[in-house]
Amino acid sequence: MNKNTDNLASTDASASDALLSVQDVSVHFGGIVALDGVSFDIPSGQIVGLIGPNGAGKTTLFNCISRLYDVNWGDILFNGESILKSPVHRMSEIGLGRTFQNLALFSNLSVLDNIMIGGHSTAKSDYISNALHLPWIKREEKELRKRAFEMLRFMELEDTALQRIGGLSFGIQKRLEIARALLSRPKLLLMDEPAGGLNHNELSLLVDTIRRIRDEFGTTVLLVEHHMGVVMEVSEKVVALNFGRKLAEGPPAEIQQHPDVIEAYLGTGKK
């Protein structure tokens, strides 16, 4: 807890060097307003939680940040530059990695191949050099494979390397998604409901993993999460959404006590 408040104090003073800055973002689907003028910053090196009841717009915002959805209004800055003009596949290269709410591994490939695709943007061999297997390809492949094995070791999954995705448990697949996203060496890791469907042991492993990712790789983490226990334990800052608007933003302890957040989750019956 001490550490959390320390971090917050330091980042409040220097809000301008936010790694990601969401500025007045609105998204409409037909007549439905999914996001309505949402703004917040993610300071470099922090673990930030994004919470809200179902339909609050969390996943929509998430998909805007990873460029799967277009925003109708507002801007999203990464490292001080707008990302809204760049295509989806550029995100990994500039340092935005992500995991998916429902598993999105490549189901017909081996674990190793899945992880290596995570490092696609860190390699550069082209169609022709690959087709002819030019000598320098070997070095690149070896390097990428080595990094993939290291990442599997980091996630304590090295034994699965040569298995197919299909036979692995849900919890292991969730961890593999994290490993895959990390292979692109992201500056910001977006995690979409990493705790969803995990059992008790896997949950505590997840909290530990998120901290290790930040501490060992210096990766900033944004997680969308339903599981309040996980968010409040691991986050240094929490942003709460409801009906597409930002309700509150602050340290977990503060958000837990925030009347609007409590109302959104439990309802007060007044209104």
Minimum Å gap between C-beta 103 and other proteins is 9
Task: Classify the C-alpha dihedral 172-177-181-187 as positive or negative.
Answer: negative
When binding is defined by CB under 8 A, the residue of 108, 169, 199, 257 that contacts other proteins is 108
When binding is defined by CB under 8 A, the residue of 36, 75, 113, 233 that contacts other proteins is 113
Characterize the bridge pairing of strands 73-78 and 18-29. Answer: antiparallel
When binding is defined by CB under 8 A, the residue of 13, 32, 162, 266 that contacts other proteins is 162
When binding is defined by CB under 8 A, the residue of 6, 10, 29, 89 that contacts other proteins is 89
Which residues in 68-100 are b (16+ Cβ under 10 Å) and which e?
A: ebebeebebbbbeeebeeeeeeebbebbbbbbb
The yes or no reply on residue 209 touching other proteins (CB under 8 A) is no
When binding is defined by CB under 8 A, the residue of 7, 72, 77, 149 that contacts other proteins is 149
Angstrom distance (rounded) from CA 18 to CA 98:
19
Size of the site for other proteins (CB under 8 A): 45
Minimum Å gap between C-beta 225 and other proteins is 19
Angstrom distance (rounded) from CA 190 to CA 182:
10
**What is the pattern of x (binds other proteins, CB under 8 A) and - over residues 64-83?**
--x-x---------------
The yes or no reply on residue 117 touching other proteins (CB under 8 A) is yes
Nearer to other proteins, 133 or 212 (CB): 133
State both tokens at 150.
């290291």
When binding is defined by CB under 8 A, the residue of 44, 74, 100, 232 that contacts other proteins is 100
The yes or no reply on residue 170 touching other proteins (CB under 8 A) is no
DSSP alpha helix (H) spans, the chain: 2-13, 58-65, 91-94, 111-118, 127-132, 135-154, 170-182, 200-217, 228-234, 252-257, 259-266
Residues comprising the chain, all counted:
271
State both tokens at 120.
């696609």
Nearer to other proteins, 82 or 108 (CB): 108
Neighbour count for residue 211 (Cβ, 10 Å):
14
Nearer to other proteins, 141 or 254 (CB): 141
Angstrom distance (rounded) from CA 13 to CA 255:
20
Residues that bind other proteins (CB under 8 A): 66, 68, 87-93, 98, 100, 104-109, 112-113, 116-118, 120-121, 123, 125-127, 130-133, 137, 140-142, 144-146, 149, 158, 161-162, 180, 184
